[in-house]
Amino acid sequence: MTGILSIDGQTIPFEDGQTVIEAASAAGVYIPHLCHKPGYTPHGSCKLCTVKVNGRNCSACTFPAADGQTVINNSAELQHDRRRITQMLFVEGNHLCPSCEKTGHCDLQGVAYHLNMLDNHFPHFYPQREVDASHPDILIDHNRCIFCNLCVRASQQKDGKQVFAIAGRGINKRLIVNSPSGKLKDSDIHVDDQAAHVCPTGAILIKRTGYQVPIGQRRYDHQPISEVALAEAGSHDR
């Protein structure tokens, strides 16, 4: 079964079971997001993909596409709200791009560029969270975690493990590791696991690989995140 919806006046076909963001991506329309990834169960945690569906704010990654929907994606109000959300993500953690080895490969940074985010607007929190470097091949810098839940879903849905979970609420929210010690070295994660590579920021890093690709030759040095995300969605559909 197929249907038709409208995004910013553009006619978009969709297949039964698709969400708004899946229909948009298939038609080459980019909706900013961080916690969404093709092939993973939708989570709706970052709210960057919020769109107006028939006048109502909805998360495009979880809201099902339906025939006759009128969707607003690119409005001044939505872009302002997305920019504020991104600014809050930057100041809540220690996202200092010039000193981060993920710069140029970072989805959070890529979204900030896409939204023309020119400053942080809010004062920095400068959290004091631990860095877990106990694993021989993988490092976690909890100061950069944005709680997108992607590593949790990757471990469960792709790796068949239960390495990660999110615990707590509000300012006490934290990424935890399923091991007797709570350290990554005592978990069953492997460097080839999807959970070790899916992080959209510099929170989960592979050791001894930093700066192997020089700055200026990295993913978002050549393409904006909108093009990369649409290409990723297209390759997954195939």
Mind listing the pLDDT tens digit for each residue in 33-81?
999 999 999 999 999 999 999 999 999 999 999 999 999 999 999 999 9
83-209 fold: Alpha-Beta Plaits (3.30.70)
Mind listing the pLDDT tens digit for each residue in 109-162?
999 999 999 999 999 988 888 999 999 999 999 999 999 999 999 999 999 999
Q: Which residue has the tokens 């329309």?
A: 29
Where in the chain are the domains? 11-74, 83-209
Quote the pTM value. 0.94
Q: How many CB atoms lie within 10 A of CB 174?
A: 14
Pairing outcome for strands 70-72 and 2-7: parallel
Average confidence (pLDDT) over 2-8: 95
Rounded Cα gap, residues 149 and 158, in angstroms: 13
CB contact set of 170 (below 8 Å; sequence gap of 6+) = none
User: Looking at domain 11-74, does it have CATH number 3.60.10.10?
Assistant: no
